[in-house]
């Protein structure tokens, strides 16, 4: 009986010791590092997706090269290659990535350079297309695009790739709402991304609950109303009741207040104004007006009085002088007298 107990005890110790040695410990990774869980997953996986350096460090802020990221993608799929004398170590991984259509032969000319975040997104999107059946909705793209503050800095041919990676919960961007497409990927960031690629449970699908602004049309008065509008907005349905001065008559007026340090509050006001203008003056004129409006972000910015031709003698005026936090968008019907 004692002998049997001893065997069981020794076996338990061996299992515990083996498990302990499976835990990768890096001298430069703290217990509360934001990427710690993902690193543990990737370095302790049976796939052994990512390794540290011989000196026991991980170097989380080090740059990840194109070939290194490709290796992570292929290794994460459970494919491994051993070094072959006379061949560069990354060659089989690159050839496999080309075979799987993650990249083409012409995608990169330098595989040793740091991979940019938009290049990473391109590979991720192609990986998704090859391995997962995900229908990307145009409505989702529009919503996600509005959440990326520097979206226009992404190369045009890579924009949809970035949107797909966001939609699948693999990319999140930075806390300030930027994506920083030209920034090179760090080893820590690459570890988190790879975890989300191969472990669907780790993905953080964005909350795309409808935040659509409802614009209600009143046929009897031929006017529009923004449901639960958070900004001063009125539209006149009887010109005879709303003479402003001898110059003409006000058709509608919108006020946007940029006296806030919260960019989301300001952007919400712009979104409401645009939703109304889209219906009232048409999308093309609305975008032209709002492009000008969006150049003012605080009371110090100056918006010179600018008129936009609308229809039937109406003009839309945008004005907000320096020192004034309120932007006024008004439509005037000029007197012909």
Q: Is residue 95 part of a domain?
A: yes
In which domain, by residue range, is 167 found? Answer: 2-202
DSSP code per residue over 279-311: HHT-HHHHHHHHHHHTT--STTS-EEEEEEE-S
pTM of the shown model: 0.59
The predicted pLDDT at position 154 comes to: 95
pLDDT, tens digit, 9 for 90 and up, residues 17-58: 333 333 557 999 999 999 999 999 998 867 678 888 999 999
What per-residue confidence (pLDDT) applies to 221? Answer: 67
Among 158, 178, 202, which residue terminates a domain? 202
Same domain, 198 and 255: no
Of 229, 248, 189, the closest CA to residue 62 belongs to 189
pLDDT value, residue 177 = 85
Q: Are residues 311 and 238 in the same domain?
A: yes
Per the structure, the count of domains in the chain is 2
Based on the fold, state whether residues 232 and 296 are members of the same structural domain.
yes
Average per-residue pLDDT for the chain: 82
> What is the structure's pLDDT at 249?
65
- Amino acid 241: pLDDT: 42
In a domain, residue 263? The reply is yes
Residues 173-204: tens digit of each pLDDT: 898 889 999 999 999 999 999 999 999 999 99
pLDDT at residue 243, as a whole number: 45
Report yes or no on 7 lying in a domain. Answer: yes
Q: Same domain for 196 and 219?
A: no
Check whether residue 178 and residue 239 sit in a common domain: no
User: Domain check: are 171 and 232 in the same one?
Assistant: no
| Residue 54, in any domain of the structure | yes
Residues 33 and 166 in one domain: yes
Asked if residue 208 is part of any domain, the answer here is no
Asked if residue 106 and residue 244 are part of one domain, the reply reads no
Question: Are 194 and 219 contained in the same domain?
Answer: no
Same domain membership, residue 229 and residue 194: no
CA distances from 20 to 5, 13, 14, 25 (A): 22, 10, 10, 10
Write down the pLDDT at residue 240.
42
Based on the domain organization, do 94 and 235 belong to the same domain?
Answer: no
Indicate whether 207 belongs to any domain. Answer: no
Residue 209, in any domain of the structure: no
* Domain-ending residue, one of 167, 202, 237: 202
Kindly list the averaged pLDDT for each block of 10 residues, start to end, along the chain of length 337. 42 35 72 93 81 92 96 90 85 96 96 97 95 76 82 93 94 90 96 94 82 69 66 58 51 86 82 87 90 92 93 87 91 64
Given this model, what pLDDT does residue 301 score? 92
Q: Are 189 and 224 within one domain? A: no
Domain boundary (170, 202, 234) is at 202
């Amino acid at each position: 009986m004692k002998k049997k107990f001893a065997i069981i005890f020794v076996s338990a110790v061996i299992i515990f010791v083996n498990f302990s040695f499976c835990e990768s410990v890096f001298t430069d990774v703290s217990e509360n590092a934001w990427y710690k869980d993902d690193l543990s997953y990737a370095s302790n996986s049976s796939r052994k997706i990512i390794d540290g350096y011989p000196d026991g460090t991980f170097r989380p802020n080090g740059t990840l090269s194109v070939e290194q990221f490709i290796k992570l993608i292929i290794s994460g799929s459970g494919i491994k290659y051993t070094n072959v004398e006379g061949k560069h170590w990354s060659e089989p991984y690159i050839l496999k990535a080309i075979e799987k259509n993650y990249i083409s032969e012409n995608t990169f000319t330098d595989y040793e350079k740091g991979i940019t975040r938009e290049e990473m997104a391109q590979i991720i999107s192609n990986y998704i297309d090859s391995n997962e059946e995900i229908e990307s909705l145009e409505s989702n793209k529009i919503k996600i695009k509005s959440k990326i503050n520097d979206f226009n800095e992404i190369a045009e041919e890579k924009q949809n790739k970035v949107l797909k990676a966001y939609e699948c919960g693999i990319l999140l961007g930075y806390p300030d709402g930027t994506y920083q497409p030209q920034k090179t990927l760090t080893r820590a960031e690459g570890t988190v991304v790879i975890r989300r690629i191969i472990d669907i449970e780790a993905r953080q699908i964005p909350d795309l609950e409808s935040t659509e602004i409802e614009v209600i049309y009143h046929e009897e008065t031929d006017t529009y109303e923004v449901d639960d509008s958070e900004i001063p907005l009125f539209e006149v349905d009887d010109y005879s009741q709303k003479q402003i001065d001898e110059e003409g008559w006000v058709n509608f007026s919108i006020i946007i207040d940029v006296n806030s340090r919260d960019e989301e509050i300001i952007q919400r006001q712009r979104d409401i104004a645009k939703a109304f203008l889209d219906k009232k003056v048409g999308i093309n004129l609305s975008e032209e007006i709002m492009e000008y409006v969006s150049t003012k972000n605080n009371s110090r910015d100056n918006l010179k009085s600018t008129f936009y031709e609308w229809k039937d003698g109406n003009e839309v005026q945008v004005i907000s002088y320096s020192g004034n936090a309120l932007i006024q968008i008004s439509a005037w019907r000029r007197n012909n007298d």
